[in-house]
Amino acid sequence: MTFRFSRKPMLAVVVSAAVLAGCVSSAAIVPTPRAAVPAKQPVRSDSGSVTVPIGAPVRSALPAPRGTLDPGFRRAPAGLSDRIAQLWRAFPGKTGIAVQRIDGEWSLSQRGDELFPQQSVSKLWVTLAVLDAVDNGRIAMDQRVRIGPEDLTLFHQPLAARVRSEGSVTMSVRDLIETAITHSDNTANDSLLRTVGGPEAVRRFISKKDLGSIRFGPGERLLQAGTAGLTWQQSYSIGRNFESARAALPPSTRQTAMNNYLANPVDGASPRRSRAR
């Protein structure tokens, strides 16, 4: 995949739907008086992924007459709340879901105000914060960023092989964005995070844009180390050192750290748009 950036403001993006890890955010819905369609059972593939059929689309039988208020502006279509609840109950695991009419006054949710871990979804906020900085002249898309062994992180980071073979790699902000978003490269993402000013810069951006109940964690290395019950050491970025250190912990320590993270995720976000907590 190739990104092509125009001269228009980089952050001039309208997001109608965003999927968070474990939850679904706002989505535009066309109102209708149509009855709800019962949800089918989820289908699990051989790879472990789960598909939940959502049934027939909900559409208006007739458009509202010109000059009159759309009847779905202030209330959800009949039966939609039950249909959303059925989908939510059918999905395995702990999930949250929220749907709202973005040009109206109603929203529906299940566990809509609970915080769910974002993990790699948080790469979106890093990139948006960087693009906002580009719009405001603090960063340039062609700005060069050096990545050395001291910048490597853990888990999925294709850039690590280049850094280890070449000693260091220098990439443009533009290329780092593409690598972080299209390849989910943790080192590219952390390099962008460092360039834009760290976690606090991303948190300020989220607050400035009033994006809602979205927490931004401490960065990939500290987030994953803390979730495992470890304190980050740069040696963990080499080979399988992190996995070995994690495996050496008492199972109770690992379980406690994971339980604490799931109960109060430092990178949590809620399905329904509300103020960050």
User: pLDDT digits over 117-151, tens only?
Assistant: 999 999 999 999 999 999 999 999 999 999 999 99
Domain boundary among 48, 83, 116: 116
Question: What is the rounded average pLDDT for all residues in the chain?
Answer: 81
Domain boundary among 116, 139, 173: 116
How far apart are the two ends of the chain, measured CA to CA in Å? 35
Q: Please tell me the distance from the alpha carbon of residue 104 to that of residue 75, in angstroms, as a whole number.
A: 8
The reply to whether 139 and 92 lie within a common domain is no
Domain boundary among 97, 116, 135: 116
User: For residue range 253-275, what is the model confidence (pLDDT) as tens digits?
Assistant: 999 999 999 999 999 999 987 65
What local confidence, expressed as pLDDT, does residue 78 receive? 87
The reply to whether 156 and 29 lie within a common domain is no
Domain range enclosing 73: 22-116
Instruction: Give 230's contacts (C-beta < 8 A, 6+ positions apart).
Output: 236, 242, 245, 246, 249
Report pTM: 0.72
The reply to whether 207 and 189 lie within a common domain is yes
For the chain, what is the domain count? 2
What local confidence, expressed as pLDDT, does residue 12 receive? 46
User: For residue range 189-208, what is the model confidence (pLDDT) as tens digits?
Assistant: 999 999 999 999 999 999 99
Q: What is the CA radius of gyration of the chain?
A: 21
Range list of β-strands (E), the chain: 19-20, 23-24, 43-44, 50-51, 96-100, 107-110, 116-117, 144-147, 169-172, 268-269
**Percentage above 70 pLDDT, the chain:** 73
* pLDDT band for position 59 (cuts 50, 70, 90): low
> Is residue 16 situated within a structural domain?
no
What local confidence, expressed as pLDDT, does residue 67 receive? 62
**Percentage above 90 pLDDT, the chain:** 56
Residue 166, pLDDT above cutoff 80: yes
Is the alpha carbon torsion for 22, 184, 15, 216 positive or negative?
positive
The reply to whether 263 and 137 lie within a common domain is yes
In this structure, what CATH number is given to the domain that contains residue 141? 3.40.710.10
